[in-house]
Amino acid sequence: MGTLRIPLTLSRSILPITTSSPSSFLLQKHDRRISPAMATAKPLSTDALKQGIAEFYDESSGLWENIWGDHMHHGYYDAGSTVSVEDHRIAQIRMIEQALRFASVSEEPNSWPKTIVDVGCGIGGSSRYLTKKYSAKCQGITLSPVQAERAQSISKENGLSERVSFQVGDALDQPFSDGQFDLVWSMESGEHMPDKLKFMSELARVAAPGATIILVTWCHRDLLPSEESLQPYESNLLKKICNAFYLPEWCSAADYIKIAQSLGLEDIKSADWSSNVAPFWPAVIRSAFTFWGFTSLIRSGWKTVKGAFAMPSMIEGYNKNLIKFAIITCRKPK
């Protein structure tokens, strides 16, 4: 994977603002405040984590939507490409299509999924796309009441509100009876789940016999057979990111595969798409440091700003082959 050339320190030269403006002063102040806090971050309790996640998305959803549209996930790019915000929307759609193709979801209308669950649905980008594509019914769950409400109104604006609905709910305790859904979809929400086994068990539980489960998520690299854990510098880097994005401890794609096997799921497949999402972060940073992006960021609140400052750490993680963007798909036995 190519090295991403982006300044890892937030230099004033990126900002089209003069040194004397209030905004750049604010930038320096925040810069000094963040590093010590993030370096000594303690892991959050599950309750605090869930609340943090809900509040983080309550606060930052609006900004994300303004810049990136209603899909709150990475775009899929050709490895090594340089991209701009304008490309991102198409790439986000491409990500969904690539995931469906990887999972071998049938292209035959008679075999299309009729019911879909979007676990960690954000403001419903995937839900709406999948509902339209398959003429299906979709239910989305999110911890954030703000997101659920926003998801609902966007769906209404798009004339889809009868087929796609959103609930405030917990992916670790999904409010559905067993075997409801033909397609179980988790696009970049797995990283928020504090108990990966419970998370996957719920995905498997609500999947109908023969259903497809698609999980696209950030992981850390697989450990070598000789390793018990990550190197200390790797754990420290992940801790910084966890604190900013309200993430619990990371696991690897190999861990997810092991869990899927232990749950008796079949046809388990996995791939490393890190090089296909790498162009995303520099584009996000570039957009954050346009004048408009920056002032919107500051207006969004502390949690969002903290998240923004963790972005260089994400790039560092990708560059050091520590952070992986993985897809894991499988099938519930018939």
Q: Is 85 or 172 the residue whose CB approaches another protein more closely? A: 172
Q: What is the C-alpha to C-alpha distance for residues 308 and 328, in angstroms, rounded to an integer?
A: 27
- Residue 55 in contact with another protein, rule: CB under 8 A: no
What three-state secondary structure class fits 111? helix
Q: Is 124 or 293 the residue whose CB approaches another protein more closely? A: 124
The DSSP output letter for 147 is H
- Residue 80 in contact with another protein, rule: CB under 8 A: no
Look at strands 115-119 and 323-331 and give their pairing.
Answer: unpaired
Q: What is the C-alpha to C-alpha distance for residues 168 and 179, in angstroms, rounded to an integer?
A: 20
Q: Of the listed pieces 25-33, 93-101, 164-172, 310-318, which binds another protein according to CB under 8 A?
A: 164-172
Contact pick of 87, 170, 222, 272 for another protein (by CB under 8 A): 170
- Residue 165 in contact with another protein, rule: CB under 8 A: yes
Tokens 């990966």 identify what position? 196
Contact pick of 173, 224, 228, 229 for another protein (by CB under 8 A): 173
Q: Which of 270, 311, 269, 268 is nearest to 289 (CA)?
A: 311
Helix (H) or strand (E) holding 330: strand 323-331
- Residue 329 in contact with another protein, rule: CB under 8 A: no
The tokens describing 159, both together, are 């004339």
- Residue 145 in contact with another protein, rule: CB under 8 A: yes
Residue 169 CB, shortest distance to another protein, in Å, is 4
Q: Is 43 or 145 the residue whose CB approaches another protein more closely? A: 145
Would you put residue 321 in left (φ > 0), alpha (ψ -120 to 50) or beta?
A: left
Q: Are 190 and 184 in contact (CB under 8 A)?
A: no
- Residue 139 in contact with another protein, rule: CB under 8 A: yes
Contact pick of 159, 224, 225, 229 for another protein (by CB under 8 A): 159
Q: What is the C-alpha to C-alpha distance for residues 103 and 121, in angstroms, rounded to an integer?
A: 19
Ranges within 175-204 binding another protein (CB under 8 A): 175-177, 180
Contact pick of 120, 122, 124, 169 for another protein (by CB under 8 A): 169
Contact pick of 119, 143, 154, 328 for another protein (by CB under 8 A): 143
Q: Which of 102, 156, 99, 97 is nearest to 124 (CA)?
A: 156
Q: Which of 316, 256, 308 is nearest to 56 (CA)?
A: 308
- Residue 275 in contact with another protein, rule: CB under 8 A: no
Q: Of the listed pieces 22-30, 146-154, 184-192, 296-304, which binds another protein according to CB under 8 A?
A: 146-154
- Give me the phi and psi of 65, to 5 degrees please: -65, -40
Look at strands 323-331 and 266-272 and give their pairing.
Answer: antiparallel
The tokens describing 78, both together, are 């050709």
- Residue 127 in contact with another protein, rule: CB under 8 A: no
Total chain residues near another protein (CB under 8 A): 30
Residue 70 CB, shortest distance to another protein, in Å, is 17
Residue 114 CB, shortest distance to another protein, in Å, is 5
Residue 198 CB, shortest distance to another protein, in Å, is 10
The DSSP output letter for 11 is -
Residue ranges in contact with another protein by CB under 8 A: 47, 114-115, 135-137, 139, 141, 143, 145, 148-149, 152, 159, 161-163, 165-170, 172-177, 180
